Amino acid sequence: MQRLTERILEHAKRLPEGTPVTAKSLLHLRNRAAVDQALSRLAERGQLLRAGRGVYLLPITSWFGTRAPSVEQAVEALAAQRGEVIVSSGAAAANSLGLTTQVPVRSVYLTSGRTREMSLGKRTVELRHAPRWQLAMAHRPAGQAVRALAWLGPERAESALQTLKRKLPPAAFSDLVAAAPQLPIWLPRSVGKVGHG
């Protein structure tokens, strides 16, 4: 009979790259205590990376050595596994939309789940709980615009909206205008002013 650690490694290798392995997903192999202990041993040996409390990742081995999966892959897999909405932060959204030249140094994502940190090798990814309105239209350009505007704040919202009106496709800007009633009080005023003015 195979050892539990070997069975866990085989299971992890069958998963798509960056997919988290949790004790809960391995209970078909043995009881919880045995699975937790085996995962801990694998992490100590460097065969799995401990990404966070109860979350492990299989490191990727290449010609150049071993590395952690990409942040994007790990975050997408975690969102799918836990059923959470996880999106890039307002700073990252503002940068990708060209509203700021600041490049975020830290990897920060907004989530519908609890606030926590995830370790990917030497990188730390922060998952921050966000209000529902920032996660609405999660993976659409209008949702990205909402997060960018929230990060920029009321003082810079109007000028940013002028830029967004030029940069976003008309349908995406219409989505933003349609979502205005669900946003905090300062944002619909600016959206209405730019959208209808």
Per-residue pLDDT tens over the stretch 44-93: 998 998 887 788 888 888 888 888 888 888 888 888 888 899 999 999 99
pLDDT in tens, 11-43: 999 988 888 888 888 888 889 999 999 999 999
Our CA dihedral for 161, 167, 172, 177, rounded to 10 degrees, sits at: 20
User: Rounded CA gap, 160 and 54, in Å?
Assistant: 41
**Proportion of the chain above pLDDT 90, given as a percent:** 40
The per-residue pLDDT for 197 is 62
Residue 34 CA, chain-centre distance (Å), reads 30
pLDDT of 17 = 82
pLDDT of residue 82: 83
Reduce the DSSP state of residue 28 to 3 states and report it.
Answer: coil
Beta partners for 67?
60
* pTM listed for this prediction: 0.82
Compute φ and ψ for 110, nearest 5 degrees: -100, 140
DSSP state letter for 25 = G
Q: List the one residue out of 39, 107, 43 whose CA is nearest residue 70.
A: 107
Q: What is the pLDDT of residue 89?
A: 95
pLDDT tens for 134-152 read: 998 888 999 999 999 999 9
Domains annotated for the chain, with CATH where assigned, are: 4-67 (1.10.10.10), 84-196 (no CATH)
